[in-house]
Amino acid sequence: MIRLYLSIRRYTIFVLLFASFVATAQERVVSGKVTSADDGAGIPGANIQIKGTSSGTVSDADGNFKINISPNATLVFSFIGYATQEIVVGTQSTINVSMLTDVVSLSEIVVTGYGTQEKKEITSSVVVLTEKEFNQGNINDPSQLLAGKVAGLSIYNRGGDPNSNATIRLRGISTVGSNTEPLVVIDGVIGASLSNVDPNDIESINVLKDGSAAAIYGSRGSSGVILVTTKRGSKRGGAVGFEYNGYVAAATPIRMQPNMSAGEYVAAGGNDLGSVTDWQDEVTRTGVSNVHNIAVSGGTKSTTFRLSTNFRNINGILEKSGFDQINTRANLSHSALDDKLKVDLNMALTNRKSNFSFNDALRYAVLFNPTAPIKFDNGDYYQAILFDNFNPVAILDQNVNEGKRKNINYNAKIDYTIVEGLTATANFGQQFETNLNGEYYSRNSLYRGLNRGGLARRYTSDRQFTLFEAYGTYSKDFNKVDLSVTGGYSFQEDQFEDMFLEFGNFPSDDLGYNALENAGDRLSGLASLVNVNSSASPKNQITALFARVNLTIDKGIFFNASVRREGSTKLGEDNRYGIFPAAGVGVDILHYANMNSFKALKVRVGYGVTGSLPGQSGLAQDLYTYSFNQGGNITKTRDANPDLKWEQKEEINLGVDFGIGTHLTGALDVYTRNIKDFILEREVDPAVYASGFRFENAGKLKTNGIELTLNYNDINLGQVRWTPGIVFSKYNTTLEEFIVDKQVRGELGAPGQNGTYMIRVAEGEKIGQIWGPVFDGVEGNGAPRFKDLNGDGQIISAPGQALADDGDFKELGQGIPAAEFGWTNQLTFKNWDLNAFFRAAFGHSLVNSFRAFYEPLDPGAINSYNRIQTDKAVAGLTSAQYSSLYVEKAGFFKLDNITLGYNFKTSSTAFKSIRFYGSVQNAFVITNYTGVDPEPQLADIGAVDNANFAPTSLDVLSPGIDRRQSYFQSRTFTFGINIGL
Amino acid sequence: MKNLFKSTLIIALSFGAFSCTDLEEEIVDSYTKSITPANPGVGTKTNVNKPTPNDGLGGAFSRVLNGTGGHGGYFSLQEIPSDEVVVTQKGGDWYDGGELIVSHQHNFRSSGMIGVEGAWNDAYGGIFQCNDLLKEAGLPLEKQAQLRMLRAYFYWRLLDLYGNVKIVTTPGVDVSQSNRLAVYNFVEAELLASITDLPAGRGEYGRASQGAAYALLARLYLNAKVYKDLAAFDDTDLQKSIDAADMVINSGNYSLEPDFKKVFSPDNVENVEHIFVAPFDEATGTGMQFPYMTLHYPSQLTFKLAQQPWNGYSTLEAFYNSFEDADKRKAASFISGPQYAYNVDPEVKTPILDLAFDKADPDGAPINYTPFVNELFPNGSRQGGARLGKFSFKVGQNPDADNDYPLLRLGEVLLNRGEALWRQGKTGEALIEINKLRARAGVSDLPSISSDGGDLLAERGRELFQEALRRTDLIRFGAWGNAWWEKPAHNDPNKNLMPIPNSAIVAATNLTQNPGY
């Protein structure tokens, strides 16, 4: 039977509670407690069965049980997710059982789109992570729970700014112009936002990696699907449980940029201004964070609930940066009408107040003259009027950059079992997000306010998302065939509005951004000074019809097929609908062949088509803007393309799930994905098209990859039990077709290196090529000399000739790692538990842009800017010009997080469990990269200079550039406590 | 089964309630085909100088602002390869992939060179707007003539820079590439055709007039040898140039402004000498950024600029020295010498400092713009080079400047007429025109003209500095391949044309690159 409830584990408990107590004569009572070996907590609802009979019982809310047995009985203890144990009772009257996690079991229930399946029935590449497998430490973004844990899922939050989100890529990029982040589904709500889920409230996360699994999500499944299941209450027979999880964390920068000390700077010819200031030290700190989570859960036969509140006070290593957040979640389930009707209601609310601080302070701390004082004697900040040069302490002290975010979402789901095997489900949900940000730059701040007599910026946005889905599932077990059919309808609507105001020229700084009416700029009315903007998206709608059939034949052959027909408002009139089919088949080899050493062996193959939806609106229409120039006129900004159609990804995934012996399990997947028609804005002939730009379906990508997961359960080393696991992944993405044959992108920028592009993309070649001339020594005038790579006797190496036929340029490195690797270790020893997670990425390089600008000892600039000094510096080089010199291999191996915990065994009725733990994130990093963070930069954040506002768009085709405005990576020490009542 | 039916019905009804079969996208924050602004003239009220007419032609005429007074378009492409403007690499600043050095040294290329794409795209952007307005039925003849003259001006830019281009006259309809002669003929024909319906007087502010069409014809005919690729100047063309210039001069609509500075100052609206202008304005005619392009960072304090300047453009020492000190145009064209912070009392002179001054700067921290420039790259000094000051700056300058930029003015027409006469051998008559301008500049008459015209070329340089005509003049005088500071001599006629930008060739697919590129 197909189980429809996300809380399948609890549902099982509920079923088991109905198992009656069976007592017979000449029996005696045995009692005991079933606990989890992981944390010593009682397992409620564990199944205790007398072997060879149908008699049994289940453990209560605390894991305790009592059972009547006859002599010589053997008890079988089982619970989903744990290895089944058999214990001969003998004469014992008390039996305490510690249950071990069962990684070998293929009988797990896996949440897939619109339903669940037993793991063995799955024919696609799906990974399930539960709470105890998550990353540990000070984690504020749910995606960080998974970093490195899933083969093929790359999650990098370079620098670790607490207010920034990680970049997530599943099997590389699957689109160029559209959304490259996976689709998130939270408790069945498609397109939900991870920013409204506290990591503490997540029970499990499933990752649907390949097209055959994701196709049921149609137009937005191309970048993969992440299904999040939040924790729910359990049926404790009316009992109520409390949980408290709290920690305090301290973060310090791991590495600083290797710039010159005051002494080195003066020795190198810098202007000695008489002071000694370590600017990087001045703008960073030990960031202390506090996190508290309180959860209450419980339930009766018909109703369960869980209420959870999370407080987060997070402080980053950059002065002022961090946030305060309260998040509350309520999950309720109720069943009625003889359990034919089940109602679920989930609600969550997040209220976050952020201080974004100024990442620029880090950048200018690297560059600012180390002999400059922070302030003059009269209290004024020291400033040099120079391009791209600002006192970093003044930036932080004089200005504010804050924001508030509120998220609310709820969804109500009704399941009704119409007849045995036939269930109807309706799900309605809404999600809201509002942002209100404020920036103020003081009248005295050279950084941004001085020129403008004070500058205030306010930004607010509002997003509303509505989902309605209705579907039915019919399941029936025939003689040799188990059949399950699901079909339904989906409607989604997304709308976004925002508003921006920027004014300058204030009579005083006292009111900050709160009194825009005092802005003198209002009198000038100049558009170049008064910057205002408001926008609203259309109602972006998606409608879909979908169907799926799952067949299990002979308990050994599994077949899944699905189709989704989906339409979106964003596309051209004639191409609004797309069809996304998928099919998969799996064979349990052991069902047909006896292979001694294998405990499990399943071969599966899946094929699926998915799409990608672009972020912008109005792609297929002519758009115009109004300009006040010359008395007002309208200008076309985009030319229509009514033929615009869906991006499509076709993917074939071949996989093997295996178990060897009793301990080793694993999965091996190989895949090919072909993406075509990706939607890109391209330059078109300005002689024909007024705007010179329009969106076209222009391009093909192909990715081949391999992923391996290995787990070894429970190596016994005396009393130490060790469970290691490895994930490994590797992929190659080729740009098969593009808007041009070849192109360079990723401009290095000012000062002096505009027009210098570092990334090459070309049809038929791998994406992620870092491109440039090869450094070959220093000319007499201090300029770099480059290699004559093609041996034609002339050196064509100017950045503007990067693509010239006779150019002396080559690939200097790859922006995307060749392989990614994760190594989990769970160890237990008596009451101690140790969790160590190592992570590595190899084969990628980074352009170290700090070095590219500031390492050469430019005799002019040495007076103006501090210099970077690494062992890669070349003596005599005085001219900063991009070349191979600044492209560094950035492979790394790091101890991502290590946690040591101690579980107090309590017999107290007050405390069910108490655990203390200490954790270190980024405990060590081994790398040759000389910058602050060797993690891959999967998308380019763009160049910015001279206190201009940074671009917000990301260029996914230009990976591998370590920009100057990056936050510094931190090492975090966490001490925490978990209490269960 | 009854339950089944009921549930199915409920689900079906829910579908009905929520389903949306109509997936129309309704854009609500941008103008589309179905929404056009009711009042295209709303912006005129805030022009701080003078409003341009509310005649519906602003969409096209505003396009002459693009790239004319900024960095990265027409101005950069015309000026940086010439002998009057240079942007040196100043250590870590202004290397920009060598896009400025290649231009200065005449290693022209179709991408990665300053202005090569901007000038192309801006010209076609303007042409599209003209075509778009011209396709409207019932457009009055005068407006048609205005737009055709303007379109001819944009095509003249393409003719002068790129030569072999597409002549598109219907919006959205592609055509094949024309050769330079065909483009020349088109520009001539369009100008001649527009004259009848253009205003005979000075015309409206920021719009075209008969004077503008004649002045452009005078320039076109003077350069006919180059545009038609003739071996020698053709007397007929020269006579046509003189005749067209006479139409301007004799119209009585224009006269020489006695004070040279005023022709270019921030309040130069409708100066008597202007024939056709790019009407820059800090509010409604944005895009003039000379103060930012040329001044050193601390000069912000001299002019109380709203933003920090970029320290890019200066002039070449030899060009600076081609002016006599007594020439009023010298002081009017350049900013040189020690610089002081703004003070209401001009007698109070507080030097402005580059605290982290450059060791290549001989004067140390106090800013002193020297005509001498130490090197083109890599370590040009930050204070080297007299700065471009002809379009003078007002104190408290906002990000966009107010100075109108004369695209055609009487001074140039006089020089064109004089040069055409000289090329016809009428040196005496030629000198009369040229010495009118020298007299205004306060310098003695030119007694004669050397046989190679070097005196005339130099005189044009002094008069027309920073007006984006130097490249055209150097080519016409056969001096384009001469050596000058940090620029080697060459003898490559292909360099008389710029390469068609690579981006255009990729986007269009039916464009052939100019020879030699």
- pLDDT for the residue A102: 60
Q: What is the pLDDT of residues B404-429, one digit of tens each?
A: 999 999 999 999 999 999 999 999 99
More confident call, A611 vs B450? B450
CB contact under 8 A, A536 and B127: no
- pLDDT for the residue A22: 37
Whether the CB-CB separation of A559 and A528 falls below 8 Å is answered with no
- pLDDT for the residue B360: 62
Residue A840: strand pairing partners: A821, A893
- pLDDT for the residue A908: 66
The token duo for B103 is 């231009």
What residues contact A696, with CB distance under 8 A and at least 6 apart?
A641, A644, A679, A680, A682, A739
- Taking 60 as the threshold, does the pLDDT of residue A18 lie above it? no
CB contact under 8 A, B113 and A369: no
- Taking 90 as the threshold, does the pLDDT of residue B366 lie above it? no
Q: Which residues of B touch A629 (CB under 8 A)?
A: 43, 58, 62, 65, 284-287
CB contact under 8 A, B91 and A752: yes
CA atoms within 13 Å, Cβ hemisphere of A980: 18
CB contact under 8 A, B30 and A618: yes
What is the mean pLDDT of the segment spanning A708-722? 86
For A491, which of B20, B132, B283 is closest by C-beta distance?
Answer: B20
To 10 degrees, what angle do helices B410-423 and B235-249 make? 150
CA atoms within 13 Å, Cβ hemisphere of A64: 8
More confident call, B166 vs A269? B166
- Taking 90 as the threshold, does the pLDDT of residue A572 lie above it? no
Which of A951, A929, A881 lies closest to A257, judged by CA?
A929
Q: What residue of A is the nearest CA neighbor of B120?
A: A686
Residue in A447, A629, A803, A862 to test binding to B, most B beta-carbons within 10 Å = A629
- pLDDT for the residue A824: 92
d(CA A412, CA A435): 25
From start to end of A300-396, where are the E strands? Answer: 303-315, 322-336, 341-355
The sign of the dihedral angle between the CA atoms of A609, A614, A618, A624 is negative
Percent of chain B beyond pLDDT 90? Answer: 71
What is the mean pLDDT of the segment spanning A928-957? 86
Q: How sure is the predictor about A440, in pLDDT bands with cuts at 50, 70 and 90? A: very high
Q: What is the pLDDT of residues A176-200, one digit of tens each?
A: 766 678 889 998 888 888 889 999 9
More confident call, B9 vs B93? B93
Residue in B2, B24, B93 to test binding to A, most A beta-carbons within 10 Å = B93
d(CA A191, CA A494): 10
CB contact under 8 A, B40 and A881: no
At residue A432's C-alpha, the angle toward residues A565 and A194, to 5°, is: 75
Q: What is the pLDDT of residues A130-164, one digit of tens each?
A: 888 898 888 888 888 888 889 888 888 877 788 88
ipTM for this prediction: 0.76
- The phi-psi region of residue A921 (left if phi > 0; otherwise alpha if psi is between -120 and 50; otherwise beta) is beta
- Whether A876 contacts chain B with CB within 8 A: no
Q: What is the pLDDT of residues B367-397, one digit of tens each?
A: 999 999 999 988 888 899 999 999 999 888 8
- Taking 90 as the threshold, does the pLDDT of residue B16 lie above it? no
The conformation of residue A143, written as its DSSP 8-state character, comes to G
What residues contact A625, with CB distance under 8 A and at least 6 apart?
A634, A635, A637, B30, B31
CB contact under 8 A, A752 and B89: yes
How far is A645 from chain B, CA to nearest CA, in Å? 14
Q: What is the DSSP string of A626-664?
A: EE-GGG-EEEEEEB--TT---EEEEEEEEEEEEEETTTE
| Helix/strand/coil (H/E/C) assignment for every residue in A64-77 | EEEEEECCCCEEEE
The token duo for A423 is 């269930």
Phi and psi at residue A778, to the nearest 5°:
-115, 135
CB contact under 8 A, A756 and B18: no
Q: Which residues of B touch A879 (CB under 8 A)?
A: 91, 95, 377-379
- pLDDT for the residue B19: 47
What residues contact B227, with CB distance under 8 A and at least 6 apart?
B159, B160, B163, B180, B181, B183, B184, B220
Task: Calculate the average pLDDT of chain B.
Answer: 90
Percent of chain A beyond pLDDT 90? Answer: 47
What is the mean pLDDT of the segment spanning A824-830? 90
CB contact under 8 A, B23 and A859: no
Q: Which residues of B touch A946 (CB under 8 A)?
A: 308
Neighbours of A870 (CB within 10 A): 16
Whether the CB-CB separation of A120 and A105 falls below 8 Å is answered with no
Interface of A with B in 763-792 (CB under 8 A): 781-783
d(CA A898, CA A919): 5
Residue A312: strand pairing partners: A291, A325
- Taking 90 as the threshold, does the pLDDT of residue B496 lie above it? yes
- The phi-psi region of residue B252 (left if phi > 0; otherwise alpha if psi is between -120 and 50; otherwise beta) is left
- Whether A685 contacts chain B with CB within 8 A: yes
Percent of chain B beyond pLDDT 70? Answer: 91
d(CA A698, CA A740): 9
- Taking 80 as the threshold, does the pLDDT of residue A1 lie above it? no
Q: How sure is the predictor about A26, in pLDDT bands with cuts at 50, 70 and 90? A: low
Point out the least confidently predicted range of A787-796, A854-863, A965-974, B343-352.
A854-863
Interface of A with B in 564-593 (CB under 8 A): 567-570, 576
Cα radius of gyration (chain B): 26
Point out the least confidently predicted range of A675-679, A867-871, B166-170, B461-465.
A675-679
* Amino acid letter for position A585: V
CB contact under 8 A, B4 and A692: no
For strand A845-848 and strand A961-962, is the pairing parallel, antiparallel, or unpaired?
parallel
Q: How sure is the predictor about A235, in pLDDT bands with cuts at 50, 70 and 90? A: low
Q: What is the pLDDT of residues B175-215, one digit of tens each?
A: 999 999 999 999 999 999 999 999 999 999 999 999 999 99
Neighbours of A261 (CB within 10 A): 14
- Taking 70 as the threshold, does the pLDDT of residue B21 lie above it? no
What is the mean pLDDT of the segment spanning A387-407? 94
- pLDDT for the residue A449: 87
In angstroms, what CA-CA distances link A969 with A153, A306, A361, A918, B169? 21, 36, 15, 20, 57
Whether the CB-CB separation of B115 and B103 falls below 8 Å is answered with yes
CB contact under 8 A, A569 and B25: yes
Interface of A with B in 607-636 (CB under 8 A): 617-618, 620-635
d(CA A853, CA A856): 7
Task: Calculate the average pLDDT of chain A.
Answer: 87
For strand A531-536 and strand A557-568, is the pairing parallel, antiparallel, or unpaired?
unpaired
Exposed, middle or buried, A523 (CB in 10 Å: 0-12/13-18/19+)? exposed
**pTM for this prediction:** 0.82
- Whether A532 contacts chain B with CB within 8 A: no
Whether the CB-CB separation of A552 and A577 falls below 8 Å is answered with no
Q: Which residues of A touch B96 (CB under 8 A)?
A: 750, 752-756
CA atoms within 13 Å, Cβ hemisphere of A735: 23
What is the mean pLDDT of the segment spanning A844-872? 87
The sign of the dihedral angle between the CA atoms of A121, A126, A130, A132 is positive
The token duo for B508 is 């269009």
Question: Chain A to chain B, count of Cβ pairs less than 8 Å apart?
Answer: 332
Q: How sure is the predictor about B356, in pLDDT bands with cuts at 50, 70 and 90? A: low
How far is A496 from chain B, CA to nearest CA, in Å? 11
- pLDDT for the residue A631: 65
The SS3 call for residue A128 is strand
At residue A779's C-alpha, the angle toward residues A775 and A784, to 5°, is: 30
Q: Which residues of A touch B289 (CB under 8 A)?
A: none
Q: What is the DSSP string of A191-215?
A: T--GGGS-GGGEEEEEEE-SHHHHG
Q: What residue of A is the nearest CA neighbor of B128?
A: A690
- Taking 60 as the threshold, does the pLDDT of residue A9 lie above it? no
